[in-house]
Structure 1
Amino acid sequence: MNCKTKDMYDLTHSIAAPVLKDCEYPWEVLPKIGDFIKEIGPKLDREVYEDRGDFIYIAKTAKFVNEATNTIIGPCIIGPGTEVRPGAFIRGNAIIGADCVVGNSTEIKNDIIFDNVEVPHYNYVGDSVLGFHAHMGAGSITSNIKSDRTNVVIKDFSTGEKIETGLRKIGALLGDYVEVGCNTVLNPGSVVGPHTNIYPLNMIRGVIPSNSIVKNRAEQEITEKN
């Protein structure tokens, strides 16, 4: 099963590299995000980051389209040049990299979001890791808890391999340069390899190999009106 951290991400593109490099699999970082922010936040360069209190550290060059409409709960780091649009809800334990877009009515919770990631329109991203230059289309979401509330198991349906995570909440692990189409649902424990394109209106589960194209087989039928 090819879903190890070293195969999914270029760690030079995240401030979270020190904690990720010690994780064989990327989901192992999820319980560590909050403590890591509390550890490195006070050490961040004050020429670059502003300490907003409550373990909230925001780069001075971050752009807020209408900050009065945003809710940001710590621990949280928002990197340089990142744009936060109206209605964004950042619920804590969130590391958002440089030059990202957190869009209108987008919710972020317990995530590592690498540099240059876009979650720009009506997205929910919970308990997830999004790699460098990943993009989630409008309305695409990560589902982070199973309906029966049991622990998430990472499954490779092509080989039958399974990994018991011991975690009840895991959203999606998106490798570098993953493109997720509009209104796609990433089921709990979805792992998408780098440079993969997921077409709109998909329901993703299990491990998707790198350099893949994922599309559903629904066909559009057009008939002439009577």
Structure 2
Amino acid sequence: MGINLGDTFPNFEADTTVGKIRFHEWLGSSWGLLCSHPADFTPVCTTELGLMAKLTLEFKKRNVKMIALSVDSVKDHHGWSKDINHYIGESQVQNLPFPIIADEKRELAVQLGMLDPAEKDCQGLPLTARAVFVIGPDKTLKLSILYPATTGRNFNEILRVIDSLQLTACKKVATPVNWKNGEECMVLPSISAEEASILFPKGIRTDDLPSKKGYLRFTPQP
């Protein structure tokens, strides 16, 4: 099983460190970032959740609610949260600034296609891979990235992609390779020259190519 881009994200019910939630109601009108983790009290996951906590304000600026998932219990999540806060120098803080879902039966991990068959726990059960799901306010999946359990995520890239998703959701542009917020964007091929001149009053730069097709059109970020 799994979920594809553009699909409505499941409105699952789950126990979390902030109590039981229904996902769509919890998300509200915000964007959402769901990150799955192989297990509690594991090294790579601890560094990731620590960085998520440190980046809380960056995600809040983008109207993104964060939520994590692990195959352990809520009780374990609370104990692990203390370790994570200690690791990032916030030992006086008990709870993380986002919920952690308890998926002890791996039901949500199976539903969303997040299990890594190459990585198993001490009981021989597959661990959850490092999935990244970005969900829009319309409750549809906008981005998915799947890392193996042994590779930590790059949250600078996740923030960069969210910036692109939020820009391209409201402006008729695409973002080129290695784009960062504030840099030149690309005019969509479906937009005519006449429409482009109206939509992008800051100007359009077209690269001259051997094909003479004029499809590499750049414009300052609208």
Using the size of structure 1 for normalisation, the TM-score is 0.27
Greater strand share, 1 or 2?
Answer: 1
Higher relative contact order (CA 8 A, sep 6+): 2
Greater helix share, 1 or 2?
Answer: 2
Using the size of structure 2 for normalisation, the TM-score is 0.27
Rg (Cα) greater in structure:
2
